[in-house]
Amino acid sequence: MINGGKVQYWCCLNLSGRTQRDLIFQFCHQLAEMCNSKGMHFNPEPLVPPIAGQPNRIEDALVNVQKQCTTKLADMKVGGRLQLLVIILPDVRGQYGKIKRICETELGIVSQCCQPRQVYKLNKQYLENVALKINVKVGGSNTVLNDAFARKIPHVSDKATIILGADVTHPQPGEDSTPSIAAVVASMDWPYVTRYRGVVSAQVSREEIIQDLYKTYHDPMKGTTVHSGIIRELFRSFRLSTGRRPDRIIFYRDGVSEGQFSQVLLYEMDAIRKDGGIFYNNHTDSKIKHNMNPSMLACFVDNKLNYACASLQEGYLPPVTFVVVQKRHHTRFFPRDHGSRDQTDKSGNIMPGTVVDTTICHPREFDFYLNSHAGIQGTSRPTHYHVLYDENNFTADELQIFTNNLCYTYARCTRSVSIVPPAYYAHLAAFRARYYIEGEISDAGSTSGNRSTNFEVVLPSVKENVKD
């Protein structure tokens, strides 16, 4: 851990009816020891002894834990709050989403769920993984790039740069009454770019373009137009966190097919820029790496668009690099010599960090395949990165190296991952937000299977202490 978080007030809730009390005490003790051994400041004694709850009354159990801890803190007269709740999940699957929804949107509790079978094993590697998750949740940092410390990352270290990741998840086939969930995350710790904050939003079912990147509404009380949206919120959080406004934007967009490139770029770049000014009348098609049809290109270059950046300050137009991240493809790479240790890892896959940007890539566009991870089982699937727009003028090597290095900063593990972390975090955030609306959708009653219901669903707000 680069920066160990501090947990002074914590507790454990056991929702597993088959796990013995003595084993819970032992698990809590070893988890606290592991957190401290990794660099955290973790109080070995919980605020109150582990509490048992009934798995069929989860909400009551969570409320009871919060009440007991709040009472204990009041008696101690320390003025703090419960910082972490370790939860042993019920033996029956399917309750994780409900627990997270209650903790994060109703009670404001930072929680760490653990599988009951792992409590029996007391496996060291499992405890290490849990410690990594806890550290990030309480404000710590697990990794940082050496080049970030040395301020040597091209087009990132020299100016305040915000790294954005975005994804949209859709309901399962046949569930057209359920909205799609959009998520955008942004780095909050320039120049280290390892800590992220996320914002989620519900939108029309199966809509791939993120609708709430930028929006306005009329305030009847003031008689003025109010600017809002995901980008504006994240930029403000970045400024509060770093003391600076972003001077550069790098946007990793997941979940876009090639047929949607032009549409997504037009709408979402417009949203990033929205509210004030002309979208660079002097822009030429050399800035746009993906070929658009002439009418769309003319619209993009010549039309007067409003900008989200300029809504924060007139004339504020930081340069943007827009990269689409694609994992769903059938391309695989194999070493020329399977017997060479220089060309393969232990599982026989190509080496992590392998880049392919010739022959099978587009002859004119800026795209590349990156195998950033070491495959554990089966054949590694490289990620396809397609740079649709680049005002920061990255060279191919600069962007490929930066993207590969970011894959080593994923907070949940000590290995590199297969997809750049900002896009990975956005994917996780979108799936987490689906837990928040499942209860509301089911409460709305059944709907016709062939009817697309586009009613507006407002996601419940995540409590501020959980956001941070």
One DSSP character per residue, 232-296 reads: HHHHHHHHHHHSS--SEEEEEEES--GGGHHHHHHHHHHHHHESSS-S-TT--TTSB-S---HHH
Please state, in angstroms and rounded to a whole number, the distance separating the CA atoms of residues 334 and 404.
Answer: 19
Bridge partner residues of 199 (DSSP): 184
Whether pLDDT at 286 is above 70? no
Pair 197, 240: CB distance under 8 Å: no
- For residue 455, the model assigns a pLDDT of 52
Whether pLDDT at 349 is above 80? yes
How far CA 214 is from CA of 84, 101, 167, 188, 315, in Å, comes to 34, 26, 16, 20, 17
Using a 10 angstrom Cβ sphere, with 0-12 exposed, 13-18 middle and 19 or more buried, the burial of residue 82 is: buried
Whether pLDDT at 454 is above 80? no
Q: Which fold has domain 146-326+420-467?
A: Nucleotidyltransferase; domain 5 (3.30.420)
- For residue 439, the model assigns a pLDDT of 57
Kindly provide the residue ranges of all beta strands, DSSP E only, lying in 97-223, ordered along the sequence.
111-114, 161-169, 180-187, 196-203, 215-219
The pLDDT confidence band at residue 134, using thresholds 50, 70 and 90, is very high
Read off the pTM: 0.88
Please state, in angstroms and rounded to a whole number, the distance separating the CA atoms of residues 386 and 159.
Answer: 24
Q: What contacts 450, CB < 8 A, 6 or more positions away?
A: none
Q: Comparing 313 with 36, which gets the higher pLDDT? A: 36
> Mean pLDDT throughout 82-103?
95
Domain 6-137: give its CATH code. 3.40.50.2300
Read off the pLDDT of residues 10-50 as tens digits, 9 standing for 90 and up: 999 999 988 889 999 999 999 999 999 999 999 999 999 99
How far CA 308 is from CA of 74, 164, 208, 227, 228, in Å, comes to 44, 14, 20, 8, 8
> How many alpha carbons fall within 13 Å on the CB side of residue 88?
29
- For residue 274, the model assigns a pLDDT of 64
Considering the chain, tell me which residue range(s) the CATH 3.40.50.2300 domain(s) occupy: 6-137
Read off the pLDDT of residues 209-252 as tens digits, 9 standing for 90 and up: 999 998 887 788 888 888 888 999 999 999 999 999 999 999 99
Considering the chain, tell me which residue range(s) the CATH 3.30.420 domain(s) occupy: 146-326+420-467
- For residue 307, the model assigns a pLDDT of 47
The percentage of the chain sitting over the pLDDT mark of 90, rounded to a whole number, equals: 62
What's the DSSP call for residue 84? E
The pLDDT confidence band at residue 297, using thresholds 50, 70 and 90, is very low
Mean pLDDT of the chain: 86
The pLDDT confidence band at residue 440, using thresholds 50, 70 and 90, is low
Crossing angle, helix 294-302 and helix 261-273, to 10 degrees? 10
Q: Would you mind telling me the total number of residues written for the chain in this entry?
A: 468
